């Protein structure tokens, strides 16, 4: 670990966290989020307008000279941690982090439009993709029109523009196509606050937004920062689950005493606290490493992605159990967090995939020389 990387929030990050949390507390209550599971997506539209327009977070990672806010991965990690705390159904990760990073490798005016909140974008890759090799290629006919298909894509239902990888003789180009020109089939997803969709593109016009010489690197950069910052969202999910469980156990009484006073539950909460705090630290280190262009980016991302995914699921499962009977009900919001945690566990690479990547990075060999 680099000694120059600090994990504590700066004053600017503290202010950003407070601003985002205030907005979410006022507009993203659990009851409203649950409506997404019934097909009501008005919250997404309203909330994204506030985040992207009023707070100008759509272009947080876009440099000022290209129309953005000029923020860094640490800033985006703060935003995602708060979005995780509220399981907010907005396309910040898919559009403002992954798609924006891919687009920054080119000189398209689409970057400025995304930064201004005028459009949202989504990369046409399965949500489980962890590397550029997992992004399917579309093909281009003699007239330059694109065709192809991909399943289980996140962020498409909220996107105006879709980014497709196209193999050419000189490399991998990234093309932008209109979402309206594609056939988008929503699929029933475990986490409907980040609903997936299957995409079919048939002879659709596109325009090159990242040249062939930069396409693979752009895809890898987008997926790497996506995986690193998804860990911050997972840390936010885990923190909410722990805090909510503790608050509930301070109030719930059984056998004439507060349930939180039982030693066995104290031990469970103490163990969970250690895991949640560790998750927050690993997630922040990964984001800080990216922001500082530190050589440990690969290691930091692999550690955070592998560890935070499992901790978020553990924290959500513990929250369900520690809430007893109400934890199993639809009306209580814990199920929203369990679904987000389980879906995110496979997002942008499973924990096992990232552990394997970590083993390669640190040259760990098992069963021989």
H/E stretch holding 37: none
Residue 47 has pLDDT above 70, yes or no: yes
The answer to whether 327 and 250 have CB atoms below 8 angstroms apart is: no
Query: Would you say 161 and 177 are in contact if contact means Cβ atoms under 8 Å apart?
Result: yes
| Region 6-26 average pLDDT | 93
Q: What is the pLDDT of residue 263?
A: 76
Q: pLDDT per residue over 237-290, tens digit each? A: 999 999 999 998 888 766 666 675 667 788 999 999 999 999 999 999 999 999
Percent of the chain with pLDDT over 90: 83
Q: Is the pLDDT of residue 367 over 70?
A: no
Predicted confidence at residue 253, as pLDDT, reads 65
Look at residues 176, 157, 214, 1 and name the one whose alpha carbon lies nearest to residue 99.
176
290-300, pLDDT tens digit by residue? 999 999 999 99
Whether this prediction's pTM lies above 0.75 is answered by: yes
Residue 106 has pLDDT above 80, yes or no: yes
Q: Given a cut of 90, is residue 95 above it in pLDDT?
A: yes
The more confidently predicted of residues 143 and 343 is 343
User: What was the pLDDT predicted at 369?
Assistant: 47
Query: Which of the four pLDDT bands, split at 50, 70 and 90, describes residue 25?
Result: very high
**Mean pLDDT throughout 155-166?**
97
**Does residue 67 register a pLDDT over 80?**
yes
| Model pLDDT for residues 306-345, shown as the tens digit of each residue | 999 999 999 999 999 998 878 888 889 999 999 999 999 9
Contact between 302 and 355 under an 8 Å Cβ cutoff? The reply is yes
The mean pLDDT of the chain is 93
What are the start-end ranges of the H helices in the chain?
Answer: 11-27, 30-34, 42-48, 73-85, 100-103, 110-115, 215-251, 263-291, 297-322, 334-344, 351-361
C-alpha to C-alpha distances, 286 to 86, 230, 311, nearest whole angstrom = 22, 10, 16
- The confidence score (pLDDT) of residue 213 equals 95
pLDDT at 74 over 60: yes
pLDDT reported for residue 27: 94
What pLDDT does 306 receive?
Answer: 97
Question: pLDDT tens across 191-210, in order?
Answer: 999 999 999 999 999 999 99
């Amino acid at each position: 670990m680099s000694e120059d990387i600090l994990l504590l929030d700066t004053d600017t990050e503290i202010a950003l966290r407070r601003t985002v949390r205030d907005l979410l507390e006022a507009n993203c209550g659990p009851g409203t989020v649950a409506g997404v599971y019934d097909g009501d997506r008005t919250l997404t539209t309203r909330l994204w307008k506030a985040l992207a327009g009023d707070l100008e977070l759509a272009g947080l990672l876009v440099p000022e000279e290209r129309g953005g806010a000029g923020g860094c991965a640490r800033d985006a990690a703060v935003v995602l941690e708060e979005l995780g705390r509220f399981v907010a159904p907005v396309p910040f990760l898919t559009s403002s982090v992954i798609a924006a990073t891919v687009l920054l490798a080119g000189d398209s005016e689409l970057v400025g439009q995304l930064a201004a909140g005028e459009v949202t974008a989504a990369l046409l890759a399965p949500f489980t993709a962890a590397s550029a090799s997992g992004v399917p290629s579309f093909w281009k006919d003699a007239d330059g029109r694109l065709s192809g298909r991909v399943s289980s894509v996140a962020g498409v239902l909220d996107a105006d523009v879709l980014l497709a990888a196209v193999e050419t003789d000189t490399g991998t180009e990234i093309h932008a196509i209109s979402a309206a020109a594609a056939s988008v089939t929503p699929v029933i997803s475990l986490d409907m606050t980040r609903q997936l969709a299957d995409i079919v593109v048939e002879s659709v016009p596109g325009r090159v937004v990242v040249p062939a010489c930069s396409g693979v690197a752009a895809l890898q950069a987008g997926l790497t920062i996506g995986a690193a910052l998804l860990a911050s969202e997972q840390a936010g999910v885990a923190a909410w689950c722990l805090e909510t469980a503790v608050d509930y156990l301070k109030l719930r009484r059984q056998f004439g005493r507060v349930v939180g006073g039982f030693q066995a539950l104290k031990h469970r909460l103490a163990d969970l606290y250690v895991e949640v705090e560790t998750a927050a630290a690993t997630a922040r280190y990964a984001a800080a490493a990216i922001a500082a262009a530190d050589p440990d980016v690969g290691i930091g991302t692999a550690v955070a992605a592998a560890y935070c995914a499992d901790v978020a699921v553990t924290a959500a499962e513990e929250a369900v159990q520690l809430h007893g009977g109400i934890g199993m009900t639809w009306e209580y919001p814990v199920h929203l967090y369990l679904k987000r945690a389980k879906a995110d566990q496979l997002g942008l690479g499973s924990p096992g995939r990232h552990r394997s990547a970590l083993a390669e990075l640190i040259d760990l060999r098992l069963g021989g020389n």
